[in-house]
Chains A and B, each alone.
Chain A
Amino acid sequence: MAAPLGTAAQADDTGDEKQDTQEKEAVAPERAEEAKLKAKYPNLGQRPGGSDFLMKRLQKGQKYFDSGDYNMAKAKMKNKQLPSTGPDKNLVTGDHIPTPQDLPQRKSSLVTSKLAG
């Protein structure tokens, strides 16, 4: 096996040069992977990693239900059928307003953990 990347990096200066070459060899596949990704998603943000992920991470758990929209939609569609969710309950598109029935049930586990079984 070439370049022992599994060895611990020595905490002295003589290892630096060797480590540099190792890193360059190591990063080439990373660049190739980046090129692959950019080819698939050309609109991917210029910022590396960064804010998009962080924002997504901070907003985890956000659910939206606007009772105003819901009631207006109900009133508007008094005479018509409310469009149903279709097979994918998580996909909310167009005129469909999420209803309380569509939100996944949040119940605590009444069942004992299988680790204790």
Chain B
Amino acid sequence: MAGRAGAGGGNDIQWCFSQVKGAVDDDVAEADIISTVEFNHSGELLATGDKGGRVVIFQQEQENKTQSHSRGEYNVYSTFQSHEPEFDYLKSLEIEEKINKIRWLPQKNAAQFLLSTNDKTIKLWKISERDKRPEGYNLKEEDGRYRDPTTVTTLRVPVFRPMDLMVEASPRRIFANAHTYHINSISINSDYETYLSADDLRINLWHLEITDRSFNIVDIKPANMEELTEVITAAEFHPNSCNTFVYSSSKGTIRLCDMRASALCDRHSKLFEEPEDPSNRSFFSEIISSISDVKFSHSGRYMMTRDYLSVKIWDLNMENRPVETYQVHEYLRSKLCSLYENDCIFDKFECCWNGSDSIVMTGSYNNFFRMFDRNTKRDITLEASRENNKPRTVLKPRKVCASGKRKKDEISVDSLDFNKKILHTAWHPKENIIAVATTNNLYIFQDKMN
């Protein structure tokens, strides 16, 4: 039966604390709020973006042969200011520097590339290493000053000598001015040449090399804005089919589009929607059905959506309902009134797959996060907290008591801290290593080896 405490995911993974990054104090500066977390394709690099427009990249250490029971730690590799706050004077619009999404490009050469976006502008960043520098110039001193040419009596050939590793980030492309509304998603195509960016009402297709042109492929803006009933909440390219992408809406639907069908993909190829009993409708129905994240499985056969209370797995071959539904925090259904009043009902939780598509993970409140094993149907609730700081100690499963008698070690719904929300989580593409972002801290957990 689902929900049994102590049941881990797949072969019962035992999760242990590995590292935590960020300030200890409770007074959180707005700029430090983490807004996105993403592993690169190999899992060696882990990027975070924050509300202050900064990106921090961590790199996994090479495995230590002597310490066979732990994988490499993640240490800071590079950090840079990706976006700055702007003010659009024409529209009297403040543009936040908050990084909404980061997506890595697969590695093609020595350098690493990632796309980062705020509400309006997408940037392609190149992160490269420099570990040698030329020395022995004829006309320049080592400190850069120019030598008086008349003092040069012999010639030498400059050589490259090793230096301390320097990691440099430089913006290679800036994709701007293509979005009237706020960008919520970016997704790189499997052709590795194009990518899409989605805002509330439109989706654009870009070529990574071209910044002055973008093709609009979805436009759901009604002729009369009074008729607006839904917005785009997330979009993603299919991992293998370069012509296919999906986008989710605030009404709980997902549309799959095929770019071969027409230039403007306003007509979907498939519409995924779970039928709702109209007699069950309440004021909250639409709000809690709004999809906050959509992610394809690595295989490309399934996609996962996250709405306020649940995670749903859809088979691309079946549009009329999801094949699996997992309740994240059903106990919140009887708290919807206060969650509406404090705006928590609008929180946008993300979700992610593990490398083999057998387990899915998503965050909740009180710094809890949840994992669902699709094979065993078992689930577990864990907590990201500095109190569980001992490496290699297995994390204790948590349990929320919805009503009635609270058992020891359970926490009651009314004691949950709704300011401690885990919106962003990421799973290493190959290993059982996860990155979990609380408001301003990044936790890394690993499975207990041996």
* A contact residues vs B (CB 8 Å cutoff): 1, 4-9, 11, 20, 23-24, 26-27, 29-34, 36-38, 40, 44, 48-51, 53-55, 57-58, 60-65, 106-109, 111-117
Contacts and interface: CB of A to CB of B under 8 A. Distances in A.
A15 to B, nearest CB: 11
B192 interface: no
Minimum-distance CB pairs A-B, first 5: A6-B2, A49-B286, A29-B334, A109-B52, A33-B336
A113 B52 contact: yes
Given A6-B2, A113-B52, A27 B280 contact: yes
Most chain A beta-carbon neighbours within 10 Å: one of B31, B93, B225, B337: B337
A33 B334 contact: yes
Given A34-B282, A34-B283, A61 B94 contact: yes
Contacts of A32: 334
A23 B280 contact: yes
A113 B58 CA distance: 13
Interface of B: 1-3, 21-23, 31-32, 34, 48, 50, 52-54, 56, 76, 79, 81, 84-87, 91-97, 119, 181-182, 200-201, 225-226, 228-231, 250, 277, 280-287, 290, 315, 318, 321-327, 330, 333-337, 340-341, 346, 374, 377, 379, 440, 442
B87 A106 contact: yes
B286 A111 contact: no
16 contacts: A6-B1, A6-B2, A8-B374, A20-B277, A27-B282, A27-B333, A30-B280, A34-B336, A37-B337, A48-B282, A49-B283, A53-B250, A53-B287, A61-B95, A106-B86, A114-B22
B221 to A, nearest CB: 10
Contacts of B330: 5-6, 26
B3 A6 contact: yes
Nearest to B84: A108
B69 to A, nearest CB: 26
Contact of B228 (A7, A37, A51): A51
B283 A38 contact: yes
A51 B321 CA distance: 26
A57 B348 CA distance: 13
Most chain B beta-carbon neighbours within 10 Å: one of A6, A24, A111: A6
A113 B31 CA distance: 8
A55 to B, nearest CB: 7
Contact of A115 (B48, B181, B377, B379): B48
Nearest to B441: A115
A9 B274 CA distance: 12
A46 to B, nearest CB: 9
A8 B326 contact: yes
A11 B287 contact: no
A34 B142 CA distance: 73
A117 B53 CA distance: 16
Contacts of A27: 280, 282, 333
Contact of B377 (A8, A26, A33, A49): A8
B54 A109 contact: yes
Given A7-B1, A113-B54, A115-B21, A37 B94 contact: no
A87 B45 CA distance: 46
Given A8-B2, A62-B94, A114-B32, 10 more contacts: A11-B315, A29-B333, A33-B334, A37-B340, A48-B285, A54-B229, A57-B182, A58-B231, A63-B87, A63-B92
